[in-house]
Structure 1
């Protein structure tokens, strides 16, 4: 929203149903579940204090409406992805001509004869004079994406509900691709009016993602596409794969010939909220919520050897070249990351009208606890590529390694706001937030983030209503505030020590 605003992390803060920084945020939120999106980028974002320096996006998901009948909706979207900005590469005859020009400039003999260049151009000798467009050999013209979603919502005098189930599937852009993506999501939002004063709400959101892709990343594959010569075939006329460039044929790198990476991810978000209106003082109420987010991601990278071929014109044979992991034996890497975040929020509110004067104020407390744990293991020298399990790798002590680490940190906040207006015409808003983070040392953990704004709704003036008809609502507003960013590396104020070849904070 703001561009590069600070020296720390510049990600925008996403608040979903009042929960700041919910795991997954906006990236995987089903659009069919969104009721509204609001962007805070001026001083009003100061209510989110040390996390608002790069702007705030407020997302509200759909909920049932009081007294509404049951409605069921199903949507299906079919789309496609296509590579649209690929650089134009020289064909084989152009490449050969340029190589000859370079040789001439350097006082050397031509690399290719006129007959070679002609055969590259006319395709009369696909074995020895191929003309390869590597992007077309590796990439599909398009890949399909489909999205299914069904939801139901409704409400009575005491209970409102919204439920949604969805699925997203997307094919990879590579031909004979090892890349696929499937996502399944479910959301339930329930609201209960227990009595005239007490209201309770519950939200539960779950998501499962299945990713599969080649062991060579997109960067490596595209690098091979643009480094491979157009004078080298991707496949020989008999269908055998060539060695490409540097024993890296991108048409094979994009498939599962060298193994696959499986990366399933599970995310669960739950919110329990409640509010209570006190009867002894009009406008006085309390509300709060407790949110818990749990995410688990697993990675299984099994690299296997595979065979490419190099044609020998002298003998007319295709010489096999086994490529892949070291020692031409399969290797396995597995990792698991677990993330959890708990957020609790409590506010005391006062909202009341005194004649032409309106006051809306609150004071509150918020705390969030974040935990992250990672474990990984690696095994090499598998005797066979048919057993992709850690226990089936090489038996030597040097064939197995492992590692792991964990991160814990806490935020604690005190917040307040007073909004005043006179006849909904003259507006004044005061906000303040005190944020504390365990990422900073004692004595410097807390920051104060105030803001003030004033507005004038000229459209509420009678003379404006009578003389200007093309504006329904016109407001002039000025604001000032301080924002911060605590999204930095964890515990940088500690010294790091090397213990057992690992960094330890102490």
Structure 2
């Protein structure tokens, strides 16, 4: 049901029906808000479940005649899993045993075995210790052992290998950065070595003090780390296109969000920097394989199985990130996966002793580039030049310009450096992370706390983030396990405000800073602010005005895994997401005065807006997972059910006319002109899905997916959509005929896929229902003096609207060379989106806002390449990785509506989405004769103006001479990582860049005025009769023939390609000091972010800035940090 304080729509019967269907699954839990308590209670129950079964629960059956104890021990071990520890000379003194028992407890069987024997036993965890009866102590004791050694593979040492004493997982450790370990154990036993991608090893200590281990690569285990939808797969068996990133790529990067950390790390995943480097406003935009729709083209984000936001995830909590790029891998997620899926898996507890990890960094920010504005005397001279070019009188005399230059009268003829005044924020940034994990073979846990604080480059800009996470897993018995995840994030941010009606808020403050001329005084001699028509940016920065936003995000889920029969698992999950936002904006009133102290103008009244929003999403999911092998035929079946209820409410209150600027509570404002608004919606999603995986001997691979989704956002007849996919692969390197090539190419796989996905993300939540507004007032009684309130429809409905559909074809090759040191992945794809949801123009007599229609199509096709190499030479190990993608985007259908224009951009069939559009500039007119002989542009055209090409040959420059000028979305993006380590030192360089991309210079070079406009140094090279070879046309004040906005042209379109040293990191591991301090790891490092950029643009133009950012842009930041990693 849609609700609005300005209008009310009764619940549509179909919406109500869909809500009732969803409500059946949640019942009173949703109505009473009891789910939070349920989640908390269940998780606490899981946390305190007993981690092992009672010994008496073990059943033993024996039928032995004259058997040695060693034979009986082996039988008992096979039936119970308990290990025996003993000295050989102890067993030599035992006597043979005759024993026949059936289904007796373990203790009963042991008592019978040890009856009338000179030896006895004790049980410790799952280990049975055998000893002589003469021993005084109740348990077998030998001298405590200290075991040390090094763990490596065939080419390098291994850091982070888990080592535990078998039968006592509370005793354990991990190897340090040099692969070394030291472990104190109470007695001889068996050490278990485990590491992802390697076969686990069990080694008996047998009194040895030093053990060096060489682990063997386990190709099957290595591939299992690839996370896919609702499970995981071996990489060698993947038939879809999946890219992965591990914690190594994310750890210690001084970035504000996970999205920014992904930039340049994966082929086909384009991460566009935020439109601002401002704290709290710097979330990146992520596109997977191009722009698939003009609607919401962002990838779906799933965190630990829950649809969520990646901006609330602490990068230090992440274990892995998988991006499902094609329909074959993403189809299992159906209607929300058309633009790719990002799967984030957080860290889980590990068996072994408790580990405490502390990571931090402290850093200082600076701008990657600030406008190179000219001082006041040069700005005044250029302003005079612009006026003269239009035939006007100069504004400043030479005497006045000289006063600007010599500073003799700073209040009347100032040289105000507005950037220096505004960019006084300390730019300090810090991050702290504390993580604890541990467990045993039954239960494990991971807990973390995080604190992030970023102060801006401009005063009063700040953002913080407090994170907490608890992940629990427990094995209740051999058939049933349970897990629970809880995450809570609190994110407050603050920014200044201003009161301009056209561009309010902090954006206007940035605009004023970059717009107000240096000839305007910051303050007059009397202490009052200097100003122009829209005020003074420093007045706003130093006023009590503010915008404060507090975000509270809670994500939780609980689930279980029940093995019903061998190979068949039932996995139910209940999840809950709630996000609450509090937004409070106060704008002070400011009275401006002139230099004489007289009132100039007033900006007011003061005003306050207080807004609160709540977003809730509740999900219920059930999976059936069955694995079965028949000889060399391997099958895996997945079936599932999913449903989701989303609820949103928004309430806002506005008052103005507060007694002073220190009073900023809503109840203290005047009731005159007060406004109260409210808004809310509910929507649901219900799904059935399935997947089949088959392979024969790991050679021939096949996967099929089907998802059947229903949404409440479409009319009943169009509510359901089916989204299938198929993919296949062939591991050639496993064929007999390939054996002669194995030395050169150890692994080679080819694969192909086809799939269809949907999209329901449109601007209106219920586009098939007509929107009604209550603000449709009308005159009554034949006179305009009487106004009556009315209700009327405002936006048309379309009951025929249905899913956008995206069909993807793809093929790929995965290969390894040089004994698996060199890996290559190549992908080709073609993605077509049909029935794109658009606002199609209709006849004006329709009277309403046009309804959304399925009326467009777009295509993305391209190539992706990934090449990586790793090797080791003695103490020196090195690695490198390069990825690059090429994407071609174009609109293929607009439902016959023709070219759609939007100032400097357009949409048209055959061109990329939102392409640049304008005239073709052929240079600059050098004489009046040249102007006369050229096609007519305007009656103002003169030497020094831009010359545009007459494409249609009609001797007039008009809109028919505009054409495609390029696209600001890069056709190619790439990333390069180079890393190496020598003994305790390590070095990593990460480069990222884009090519075949355009940017637009208009607005980025400044302007001229005595108030609202100031030039950059670029305008010094503007055309004059004395400078005919200038790089820019003549400067104009009010005329627009050279304007990149009013007369957009190719002259202002520049190559936006760049390469940036995104991150440089140098670290040192204190191995010896760590041992002395009793810690397993201690590392200090330097990390630099955005420290070097190469591009063909002016130094103050950031190539990652939005193409149309102009003077509204808060710069990206360059960051230098020092950090520390310690593990106890």
Is the TM-score greater than 0.5? yes
Q: How does 1:466-477 map to 2 (within 5 A)?
A: 466-469=740-743, 471-477=745-751
Counterpart in 2 of 1:387? 663
The 8 Å contact of residues 51 and 485 in structure 1, kept in 2 or not, is answered as: yes
Do the aligned partners of residues 426 and 101 (structure 1) sit closer, same or farther apart at CA in structure 2, a change above 3 Å counting?
Answer: same
The 8 Å contact of residues 127 and 237 in structure 1, kept in 2 or not, is answered as: yes
Counterpart in 1 of 2:440? 156
SS in 1 for 2:378: helix
Which residue, out of 564, 584, 587, partners 1:300? 584
Counterpart in 2 of 1:213? 495
SS in 2 for 1:93: helix
Do the aligned partners of residues 16 and 310 (structure 1) sit closer, same or farther apart at CA in structure 2, a change above 3 Å counting?
Answer: same
The 8 Å contact of residues 523 and 530 in structure 2, kept in 1 or not, is answered as: no
The whole-number CA distance in structure 2 between the counterparts of 1:241 and 1:351 is 78
Do the aligned partners of residues 228 and 277 (structure 1) sit closer, same or farther apart at CA in structure 2, a change above 3 Å counting?
Answer: same
The whole-number CA distance in structure 1 between the counterparts of 2:352 and 2:592 is 65
Counterpart in 1 of 2:770? 495
Counterpart in 2 of 1:251? 538
Which residue, out of 293, 300, 316, partners 1:13? 300
What displacement does 1:31 show? 0.2
Q: More displaced, 297-306 or 80-89?
A: 80-89
What displacement does 1:408 show? 0.3
The whole-number CA distance in structure 2 between the counterparts of 1:167 and 1:124 is 50
Structure 1 position 454 matched with structure 2 position 736? no
The 8 Å contact of residues 524 and 530 in structure 2, kept in 1 or not, is answered as: no
Counterpart in 1 of 2:646? 370
The whole-number CA distance in structure 2 between the counterparts of 1:335 and 1:31 is 30
Q: How does 1:129-144 map to 2 (within 5 A)?
A: 129-140=413-424, 143-144=427-428
Which residue, out of 506, 510, 517, partners 1:222? 510
What displacement does 1:368 show? 0.7
Structure 1 position 40 matched with structure 2 position 324? yes
Q: How far does the alpha carbon of each residue in 1:136-172 deviate from its partner, in whole angstroms, 9 at most, with x for none?
A: 2212486121111000111201111110100011112
Counterpart in 2 of 1:342? 618
The 8 Å contact of residues 427 and 456 in structure 2, kept in 1 or not, is answered as: yes
SS in 1 for 2:349: coil
The 8 Å contact of residues 303 and 324 in structure 1, kept in 2 or not, is answered as: no
Do the aligned partners of residues 473 and 236 (structure 1) sit closer, same or farther apart at CA in structure 2, a change above 3 Å counting?
Answer: farther
Counterpart in 2 of 1:232? 520
Q: More displaced, 422-431 or 127-136?
A: 127-136
What displacement does 1:132 show? 2.0
Counterpart in 2 of 1:93? 377
Counterpart in 2 of 1:191? 473
Structure 2 segments unaligned to the other structure (5+ residues): 1-287, 499-504, 777-790, 798-1128
Counterpart in 2 of 1:122? 406
What displacement does 1:178 show? 2.3
Q: More displaced, 446-455 or 94-103?
A: 94-103
What displacement does 1:54 show? 0.8
Q: How does 1:406-417 map to 2 (within 5 A)?
A: 406-417=680-691
Counterpart in 2 of 1:355? 631
Do the aligned partners of residues 72 and 462 (structure 1) sit closer, same or farther apart at CA in structure 2, a change above 3 Å counting?
Answer: farther
Structure of greater relative contact order (alpha carbons < 8 Å, 6+ residues apart):
1
The whole-number CA distance in structure 2 between the counterparts of 1:109 and 1:296 is 58
SS in 2 for 1:288: strand
Structure 1 segments unaligned to the other structure (5+ residues): 313-317
SS in 1 for 2:670: coil
Which residue, out of 563, 572, 576, partners 1:277? 563
Which residue, out of 336, 351, 354, partners 1:51? 336
Counterpart in 2 of 1:443? 717
Do the aligned partners of residues 277 and 353 (structure 1) sit closer, same or farther apart at CA in structure 2, a change above 3 Å counting?
Answer: same
Do the aligned partners of residues 182 and 470 (structure 1) sit closer, same or farther apart at CA in structure 2, a change above 3 Å counting?
Answer: farther
The whole-number CA distance in structure 2 between the counterparts of 1:463 and 1:74 is 52
Structure 2 length as normaliser, TM-score? 0.42
SS in 1 for 2:728: strand
What displacement does 1:7 show? 3.7
The whole-number CA distance in structure 1 between the counterparts of 2:772 and 2:388 is 58
Q: More displaced, 151-160 or 127-136?
A: 127-136
Q: More displaced, 128-137 or 477-486?
A: 128-137
Counterpart in 2 of 1:105? 389
What displacement does 1:118 show? 2.0
Counterpart in 2 of 1:4? 291
Pairwise CA RMSD of aligned residues? 2.1
What displacement does 1:500 show? 5.4
What displacement does 1:50 show? 0.8
What displacement does 1:320 show? 5.2
